[in-house]
Chain A
């Protein structure tokens, strides 16, 4: 019993320590933003690596997210006797407000957040970060700022694509699988579409991007040991990013979408 309490206590302290570390790296990131214009090449490189290279994966996932949403919504509508002409409305709202931002961010955490941690973690254990510091290069400016900025910019960009592709996936299922005309689906979608929903979704996506970048960099910088340390840090990075995305999503739901 005592051992269990000890373990919970230790884990809680570790979690608080991690949150403190994330806050410190966030402040250092904000301070390093004064070098944003002189680091534009580094940021563009990361925009390509973390953003554009994620696009094919986001597109593939979004097609199926949209498709399965339409199918499941139609199944539920049939079960409760709701009219199928409301399919575009229901799927459109779900995609724009929740599914595209949250699922894109979680996929991004798995692909990009893990990549950032593995790269920086390897740099840490092979003394490359020490080498940067010994040359008088601030690793926060050189490594963290470009990655976090690129993540912050590119998750909303990817979510715009995810929205579009998911709606197309849903439309395809509505037309081919549910026998709805595309006009009926699009009228339903258009009637319920609010630009504020799209903007709120993109704001969330920007915050998720920043969280993924910061968590990835934090775990990378704090990697200890060799290959196993890098593996452990990468796993922890993806887990923490995913949890924080869901926590922030709930906070945004309360703030942005008042009942």
Chain B
């Protein structure tokens, strides 16, 4: 049985249609990369899965639960099973690194202060930032911010991790470090992951399955090996980074 099931997902902003009827099933333990041109709706798709954006039409199932039919308190419980790493890391400026990582645990009121401290230390160790616990987000580099965002996302031991362009804006070496961290965490924590990216190096490294969004629909769905051999001109233009071809630059 699939862990996440998306049926007939539609989303538009005013007259701009972004997603038009996405159907997708994601199995437990899968590492899915969602690729596509900038502005094609990858992040919208990711945010629709957690209901940060409400779809115009269509359903998202987490296990047997339809997110559209949940009350706000049930949705909060589901969201605690989904960790999200944002493109800009989205760290809270007013909080230290350790408070950022522990915020979700503290606000859930399910853990005691010493437990939260232990979990925060453990997660910061996992991303290699134990020494930065007392720093403020403004003192961190781009790569460190992403790692803190990752530590925060895994703090509640989620079943699913969503990454929104985790390597964007990083130098190739730091990007590779983040990719390795994602692969490592997926194995250690045994999570299902969905990664939005347009960095093909990253997609090949972290994904067991790749989908490509184009014109609001899924243009390709297959393994990294299959996408390399795919004859579809749209797919080939994108993965090889060519300016000439059927994809028009927006």
A-side residues, CB < 8 A to B, are: 38, 123, 126-128, 130-131, 133-138, 142
Contacts and interface: CB of A to CB of B under 8 A. Distances in A.
A126 B90 contact: yes
B89 to A, nearest CB: 9
Contacts of A135: 79-80, 103-104, 107, 152, 156
B85 to A, nearest CB: 9
A136 B108 contact: yes
B86 A130 contact: yes
A120 to B, nearest CB: 12
A133 B52 contact: yes
Given A127-B90, A128-B90, A128-B92, A136 B104 contact: yes
B104 A126 contact: no
Given A38-B109, A142-B107, A134 B84 contact: yes
Contacts of A38: 109
Contacts of B152: 131, 135
B74 to A, nearest CB: 11
Given A38-B109, A128-B92, A142-B107, A134 B87 contact: no
B50 A134 contact: yes
B82 interface: yes
B38 interface: no
Contacts of B79: 133-136
B80 A131 contact: no
Q: Which 5 A-B pairs have the closest CB atoms?
A: A135-B104, A131-B90, A127-B90, A136-B76, A134-B84
Given A130-B90, A131-B90, A138 B76 contact: yes
Contacts of A131: 84, 86, 90-92, 152
A127 B80 contact: no
Nearest to A125: B88
Contacts of A142: 107
B120 to A, nearest CB: 14
B231 interface: no
Given A135-B156, A136-B77, A130 B52 contact: yes
Contacts of A123: 92
A137 B47 contact: no
Interface in B43-74: 47, 50, 52, 72
Nearest to B149: A131
A138 B103 CA distance: 12
Contacts of B92: 123, 128, 131
B107 A137 contact: yes
20 contacts: A127-B86, A127-B87, A127-B90, A128-B93, A130-B47, A130-B90, A131-B91, A133-B79, A134-B52, A134-B84, A135-B103, A135-B104, A135-B107, A135-B152, A135-B156, A136-B79, A136-B104, A136-B107, A137-B103, A138-B72
A123 B92 CA distance: 8
Given A136-B77, A138-B76, A127 B88 contact: yes
A6 to B, nearest CB: 18
Contacts of A137: 103-104, 107
A38 B84 CA distance: 26
B219 to A, nearest CB: 27
A138 B109 CA distance: 13
A64 B84 CA distance: 52
Contacts of A126: 88, 90
A220 to B, nearest CB: 14
A128 B91 CA distance: 7
Contacts of B72: 138
A92 B142 CA distance: 58
